[in-house]
Amino acid sequence: MNIASKRWIAVIGIILLLALISLPLLKHDTKEKHIATIMLEKKTVKTIDLSTVTKPYRIRIDTPSGGYNILEVRPNEIEVIEADCPDQCCVHQGIISDGAEPIVCLPHKLVVKIDYTSHDDHTSKQTAPPDAVTK
């Protein structure tokens, strides 16, 4: 094995090590997070304060391309329970409560993430198209 190959193995090792170290850090956050932000095609369509949710309910997000995602909102948790995207990745990602990993539905350009604060709470109501969210 030549020197160049050994260098590459070292580079791969470092990248892999960094990835492995950062993995548990992203799973759970130490800070309190409870604002769920639902984004569709770069725009925030809805923000929900999950700590105020007492009874589970469902919301339906219709995408401009004609698809849909149905989300279930529970106390401190949120989950995509049904979607008509081809890969069903968003459904399989399950419940998110804290942690940095958002639910992503790439075919529908939908992202559900949990934030510390609802800094864009009031702006979301203006930018949201009136028929995009139906309860």
Query: Which residues of the chain form contacts with another protein (CB under 8 A)?
Result: 1-2, 4-5, 7-9, 11-12, 15-16, 18-20, 22-23, 26, 39, 41-43, 86-90, 92-94, 99-102, 104-107, 109-111, 113
**Cβ contact 48:35 at 8 Å:** yes
Q: Torsions phi, psi of 28, nearest 5?
A: -135, 140
Backbone torsion region of residue 130, taken as left when φ is above 0, otherwise alpha when ψ lies between -120 and 50, otherwise beta: alpha
d(CA 87, CA 20): 26
- Considering beta carbons, is residue 57 or 106 the nearer one to another protein? 106
Smallest distance, another protein to C-beta of residue 87, A: 6
- Considering beta carbons, is residue 18 or 81 the nearer one to another protein? 18
Smallest distance, another protein to C-beta of residue 57, A: 24
**Cβ contact 80:105 at 8 Å:** yes
- Half-sphere exposure (CA, 13 Å, Cβ side) for 74? 10
Smallest distance, another protein to C-beta of residue 116, A: 12
- Considering beta carbons, is residue 59 or 100 the nearer one to another protein? 100
- Considering beta carbons, is residue 3 or 54 the nearer one to another protein? 3
